[in-house]
């Protein structure tokens, strides 16, 4: 069995009494690429901060790279690479100065050569003297990745690294991630992009601080046990509006199509029955997409919370 | 025309909402005037009275009592000690316990009655000319007011002569007071401001999160922040001292070594204040406002702007 790069159980964090991360358990085998998905404010950043020793959990325990997240936070900081949500390096320092600063902090041997090698590898060599603040979004992201990679961490925690980056740069970024994984690096990357989720070995979906689904994309989709119908045509917005209040049914509009999903096929059938005869719409049953599953998960989580409140 | 009004009103409403949200700025708007009122009302007096005065009298008697009475009646002098010798008086002035030394020489009464116009010696601590100038001006009245009641007609006007020595600063140059004082002002200003901004900048730009995720503990971050400003502080000191010497002809008489050591304590104290602000401030604007809030009373009450002797003990 491969060792676990992340092995945490019951991780909990409260901010002013509110559980922002609620009993999260994760077992990430070394060398895998994991996607961490969930709506804004669901606790992704907070979870990642606890994993890299920045934030002390209020409950739960576990290890990162075999180091205890409570007792060995300092050792974790030295061995883990963490890319924060905002590209945070010094905008008034040049590319080379930024990397040099990081290299000094980690006390890397042969610092100069390492900095040069890093710049060469990520293609920043020709921009070495450019101020980091004047780089375009894609290059900033590369610099941030390079900075958290320089000390050759075995575990990378990347918090929304591709937010606001163009598709070309995203593709190159993912090529780099997979190259790292081939070298044995474990990667946990939070994202809002479905196509990025599909590039991961496994995904974890979090909402309201709780993990709602974990597994491969196939497993997550299958695990939701969802039935989905797709309606295409100009009447889709009306249908979406009228189905919005039906309990147990989730809707999502994708371009010309409306996806309607529910766990109970009879509930679904009954819900869409009144609209089946609409001549403007063409209906067909389909495999639920990952996004359908996420929408369903968040809607049932929201409904459960509202019931509890 | 109407749309101009609408747009200005929209801007104004937005500003007011933001202002209300920014508690610190709001507090400053109210706090600064209140603080200034209190300081100017209670603590600052540009015409200090009741200045501590030491008396050396070698001629006890009625005339002495008259002179002391006249000095105290002027409102500017308060006899705090009567000593027998120069050295004792010298020590009190050097320590700052006294601002004036009044010496009534031997045979003062005899010379006065003989009409020989004896001299009354008054030495003033003139390091801060502004603090003592009014008192010194009041001395010109002394020969007349001192003898008015008890010896009318007995002595010829003006009776005696007042000799004034301005100690430490015979020409009464304000540069002697202002230039060294500026050292403190400049250091306080830059040290507190620079450190409070330096740390807040990291939090504001999100780089603090990065720093703390790297093998670097908060104490090391602080030390690295403070160190450059200590060096800058000493550079500022060197610049001010050189300017004092060569531009303003203010000599440096004390021990440079002692100054260097004492400055370290002063710099560290200011840097600590700056770091404290940076820990409280959420952005650089707030850090600047806090610095201002600290700087204002400290400069007003430092004796640099207004005489220290005028402040309530
Ligand atoms: N330092 C903090 N103090 C108080 N609340 C916080 C803090 N950090 C995060 N939160 C709250 O915790 C929740 C989860 O935040 P976060 O982990 O950043 O979510 P995500 O990264 O998934 O968008 C949010 O509601 C956020 O407001
Ligand atoms: Mg986040």
Spatial distance between the Cα atoms of A205 and A191, rounded to a whole number of angstroms = 10
Range of the domain at B125: 51-167
- Do the Cβ atoms of B92 and B98 come closer than 8 Å? yes
Return the residue whose CA atom lies nearest to atom 20 of ligand 1: A41
B230 close to B263: Cβ distance less than 8 angstroms: no
From chain A, pick out residues whose CB is under 8 angstroms from the CB of B216: 105
One domain, residues B154 and B184: no
Tens of pLDDT, residue by residue over A33-86, are 999 999 999 999 999 999 999 999 999 999 999 999 999 999 999 999 999 988
Residue B144 inside a domain? The answer is yes
Residue A138, min C-alpha distance to chain B (Å): 19
Judgement on whether residues B215 and B303 belong to the same structural domain of the protein = yes
What chain A holds in terms of domains, given with CATH numbers, is 4-215 (3.40.50.300), 221-308 (3.30.70.250)
ipTM for the complex shown: 0.82
Residue B214 falls inside a structural domain: yes
Mean pLDDT in each 10-residue stretch from start to end of chain A (309 residues)? Answer: 90 95 96 96 96 94 94 93 88 95 93 93 92 92 92 95 90 93 96 94 96 95 92 88 86 90 90 88 92 92 88
Residues with CB under 6 A from ligand 1: A 15, 20, 38, 40-46
Cα torsion angle, A152, A158, A164, A165, sign: positive
Residue B40 lies in a domain: no
Residue B37 belongs to some domain of the structure: no
Q: Is residue B233 part of a domain?
A: yes
Is the residue at B32 inside a domain?
no
Ligand 1 atom closest to the Cα of residue A44 is 22
CA distances from A214 to A1, A51, A287, B78, B187 (A): 19, 17, 19, 85, 58
Do B204 and B302 have their domain in common?
yes
Same domain, B95 and B161: yes
Give percent of chain B above pLDDT 90.
33
CATH code where residue B93 lies: 3.40.1710.10
Query: Is residue B199 domain-shared with residue B130, that is, in the same domain?
Result: no
In sequence order, the 6+-apart residues with CB closer than 8 A to the CB of A309 are none
Is residue B60 domain-shared with residue B84, that is, in the same domain? yes
End-to-end Cα spacing for chain A: 43
Within a domain: residue B217?
A: yes
A182 touches A267 (CB < 8 A): no
- Across the range B19-47, mean pLDDT stands at 85
B224 touches chain A (CB under 8 A): no
Mark whether B190 and B106 lie in a shared domain: no
Q: Please give the pLDDT value at position B273.
A: 94
With an 8 Å Cβ cutoff, are A102 and B214 in contact? yes
Q: What is the pLDDT of residues B53-65, one digit of tens each?
A: 999 988 888 888 8
The rounded Å distance from CA A211 to ligand 1 centre is 16
For residues A18 and A23, what is the distance between their CA atoms, to the nearest angstrom? Answer: 13
Last residue of a domain, one of B167, B191, B226: B167
Residue A45 tokens read as: 């950043």
B186 & B296 share domain: yes
The structure's pTM equals 0.81
pLDDT of residue B157: 60
Distance A18 CA to ligand 1 centre (A): 10
Main-chain dihedrals φ then ψ at residue A239, nearest 5 degrees: -60, -45
Distances (CA, A) of B243 to B183, B247, B302: 11, 5, 22
Q: Closest Cα partner for B233 from B263, B210, B196? A: B263
Residue B23 lies in a domain: no
Closest ligand to C-alpha of residue A49 is: 1
Domain boundary among B123, B149, B167: B167
Domain match, B163 and B188 both = no
* Residue A144 C-alpha from the chain's centroid: 17
Residues B159 and B279 in one domain: no
Q: How many CB pairs under 8 A join A and B?
A: 35
Could you tell me if B181 and B303 lie in one domain?
A: yes
Residue count (chain A): 309
Residues B162 and B228 in one domain: no
Write down the pLDDT at residue A164: 84
Domain count for chain B: 2
| E strands, chain A, in order | 4-15, 18-29, 33-37, 59-64, 67-68, 80-83, 155-159, 186-190, 202-207, 210-215, 227-232, 250-254, 257-262, 282-286
Closest-lying ligand 1 atom to the alpha carbon of residue A46: 17
pLDDT of residue B151: 57
Of the residues B167, B201, B235, the one at which a domain ends:
B167
Q: Output the six-digit token pair for A84.
A: 């924060």
């Amino acid at each position: 069995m491969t060792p676990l790069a992340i092995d945490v159980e019951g991780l909990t964090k409260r901010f002013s009494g509110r559980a922002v991360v609620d009993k999260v358990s994760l077992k990430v085998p070394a060398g895998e690429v994991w996607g961490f998905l969930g709506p804004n404010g669901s606790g992704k950043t907070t979870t990642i901060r606890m994993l890299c020793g920045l934030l002390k959990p209020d409950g739960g325990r576990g290890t990162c790279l075999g180091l205890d997240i409570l007792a060995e936070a300092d050792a974790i900081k030295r061995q883990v690479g963490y890319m924060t949500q905002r590209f945070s390096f010094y905008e008034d320092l040049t590319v080379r100065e930024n990397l040099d600063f990081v290299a000094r902090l980690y006390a890397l041997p042969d610092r100069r050569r390492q900095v040069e090698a890093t710049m060469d590898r990520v293609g920043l060599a020709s921009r070495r003297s450019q101020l980091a603040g004047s780089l375009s979004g894609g290059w900033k992201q590369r610099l941030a990745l390079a900075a958290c990679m320089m000390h050759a961490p075995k575990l990378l925690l990347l918090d929304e690294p591709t937010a606001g980056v163009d598709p070309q740069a995203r593709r190159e970024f993912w090529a780099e991630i997979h190259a790292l994984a081939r070298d044995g690096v474990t990667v946990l990357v939070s994202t809002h992009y479905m196509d990025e989720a599909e590039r991961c070995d496994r995904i974890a979906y979090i909402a309201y601080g709780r993990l709602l689904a974990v597994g491969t994309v196939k497993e997550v989709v299958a695990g939701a046990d969802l039935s989905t119908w797709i309606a295409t045509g100009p009447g889709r917005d009306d249908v979406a509006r009228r189905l919005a209040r039906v309990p147990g049914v989730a809707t999502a509009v994708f371009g010309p199509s409306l996806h309607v999903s529910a766990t109970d096929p009879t509930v679904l059938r009954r819900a869409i029955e009144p609209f089946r005869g609409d001549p403007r719409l063409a209906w067909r049953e389909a495999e639920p997409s990952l996004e359908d599953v996420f929408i369903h998960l968040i809607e049932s989580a929201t409904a459960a919370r509202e019931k509890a409140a | 025309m109407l749309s101009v009004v609408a747009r200005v009103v929209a801007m104004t409403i937005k500003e007011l909402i933001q202002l209300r949200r920014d508690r610190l700025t709001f507090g400053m708007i109210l706090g600064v005037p209140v603080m200034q009122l209190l300081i100017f009302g209670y603590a600052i007096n540009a015409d200090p009275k009741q200045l501590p005065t030491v008396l050396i009298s070698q001629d006890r008697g009625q005339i002495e009592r008259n002179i002391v009475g006249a000095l105290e009646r002027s409102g500017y002098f308060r006899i705090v000690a009567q000593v027998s010798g120069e050295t004792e008086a010298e020590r009190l002035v050097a320590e700052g316990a006294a601002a004036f030394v009044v010496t009534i020489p031997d045979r003062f009464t005899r010379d006065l009655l003989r009409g020989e116009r004896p001299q009354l010696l008054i030495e003033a601590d003139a390091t801060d000319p502004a603090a003592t100038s009014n008192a010194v001006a009041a001395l010109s009245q002394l020969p007349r007011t001192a003898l008015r009641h008890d010896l009318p007609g007995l002595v010829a006007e003006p009776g005696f002569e007042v000799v004034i020595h301005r100690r430490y600063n015979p020409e009464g140059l304000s540069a002697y007071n202002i230039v060294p004082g500026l050292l403190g002002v400049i250091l306080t200003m830059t040290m507190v401001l620079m450190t409070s901004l330096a740390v807040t900048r990291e939090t504001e730009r999100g780089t603090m999160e990065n720093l703390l995720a790297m093998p670097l503990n908060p104490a090391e971050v602080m030390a690295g922040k403070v160190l450059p400003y200590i060096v800058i502080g000493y550079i500022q000191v060197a610049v001010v001292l050189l300017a004092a010497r060569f531009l303003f002809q203010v000599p440096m008489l004390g021990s440079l070594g002692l100054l260097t050591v004492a400055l370290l304590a002063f710099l560290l104290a200011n840097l600590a204040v700056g770091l404290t602000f940076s820990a409280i401030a959420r952005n650089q604007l707030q850090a600047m406002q806090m610095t201002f809030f600290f700087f204002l009373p400290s400069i007003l009450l430092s004796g640099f702007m207004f005489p220290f002797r005028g402040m309530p003990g």
